Amino acid sequence: MGSDAMLAIGLMSGTSLDGIDAALIETDGEGHVRPIAFRSEPYSQQARQQLQEATALALTYEKPRLSPEIAAATEMLTRRHLLAIHQLVASAGIPLDHVKVVGFHGQTVAHRPAQGWTWQIGDGPALAAALKLPVVADFRSADVSAGGQGAPLLPVYHRALASGAALPLAVLNLGGVANITYIGRDGELIAFDTGPANGLVDDWMAAETGKTFDEDGAFAATGEVHRGVLASMLDNPWFDLASPKSLDRADFTMAPARGLLPADGAATLTAFTAATVALALNHLPERPVRMIVAGGGRHNATMMAMLADACEIPVEPIEALGQNGDATEAEGFAYMAVRSLKGLPISFPGTTGITEPLTGGRLCLP
């Protein structure tokens, strides 16, 4: 281990509400990154429902406030993250006290940068006390307070992972919402949300088939894309906005696909994600030589094929860089926690729209 490299744990619970990702890495917060262990702990149906209800409630508020329901969801979420950490270090065979910092993203229940706030629930001080370790939480608020979008934050980690790859390169993260990172020839970072990733398809599958997602894109593969519905969904001024820009999981809806056959709706919503990524490439200074895909969407073969068709560049899973794409987001928050400890920036003018590079995260000491 280098002189200032340390063991760090990163935690991510995404807007798709499938579970908690926990990653252990060794990093100096700069060029050195060595992934060590990763686990994903799925939510029970009850936990998922509790988080969905907390999110629905939070979206009705003018600003964050801890109602009894949201306080209960916060306590449940924090307890589950604590359990995920203990399972991670046990599986890795590494004593907890060897870890120097934990990056705790929490659960986004509302993201309203235009109103000057973003809200991730999760009790950082309680987690730090239970672990007897420093915890960095609340990664997005400093950026939003400084006039930034508060998202996406992963670009700084994408750049670390792409060292040695041919540039310019695009890294596409397909979670509930999709975001793209452009790494220019000189290491310049540009990043923004492109549109829904798996979110609308997941919603459609739940409503039409009772399944939580379209495994491998197999259901969409049996359907036909309805060009008229796709065109109406793409007719949205948001796609013409210059970056930086970010979305909430609830900003787009599957309503335009209502009335389509179930498989056709799945195909059309999957094509919508691919088309919105293709539109995003028009906002980049140069066409990337390839697109590397992280996040759950890279397992969707139909979406990957549609992306390659729409974008007309090679589209490959992040495993092509020797990485575990399921772990990327959690690893990124471990990496950013170390940067936060060192006072290094985690957001940049080209990624969130702030005027100067800015560090972020709130340090919670045990």
Question: What does pTM read for this prediction?
Answer: 0.88
- pLDDT above 70 covers what percent of the chain? 99
d(CA 292, CA 160): 14
pLDDT at residue 17 in the model: 86
Q: Above 70 in pLDDT, residue 2?
A: no
Residue 156's closest CA among 10, 308, 362? 10
Q: What is the pLDDT of residues 19-75, one digit of tens each?
A: 999 999 999 999 899 999 999 999 999 999 999 999 999 989 988 888 999 999 999
- Cβ atoms of 16 and 70 within 8 Å: the answer is no
Q: What is the pLDDT of residues 329-362, one digit of tens each?
A: 999 999 999 999 999 999 999 999 999 999 999 9
Q: Above 90 in pLDDT, residue 91?
A: yes
Contacts of 348 (CB under 8 A, 6+ apart): 155, 156, 189, 354, 357, 358
d(CA 90, CA 112): 38
Q: Could you write out the DSSP letters of every residue in 53-82?
A: HHHHHHTT-SS----HHHHHHHHHHHHHHH
Q: What is the pLDDT of residues 281-316, one digit of tens each?
A: 999 999 999 999 998 899 999 999 999 999 999 999
Highest mean pLDDT among 52-56, 109-113, 134-138: 134-138
The domains of the chain, with CATH numbers, are: 6-148+359-364 (3.30.420.40), 155-321 (3.30.420.40)
d(CA 352, CA 246): 8
Helix (H) / strand (E) element for 362: namely strand 362-364
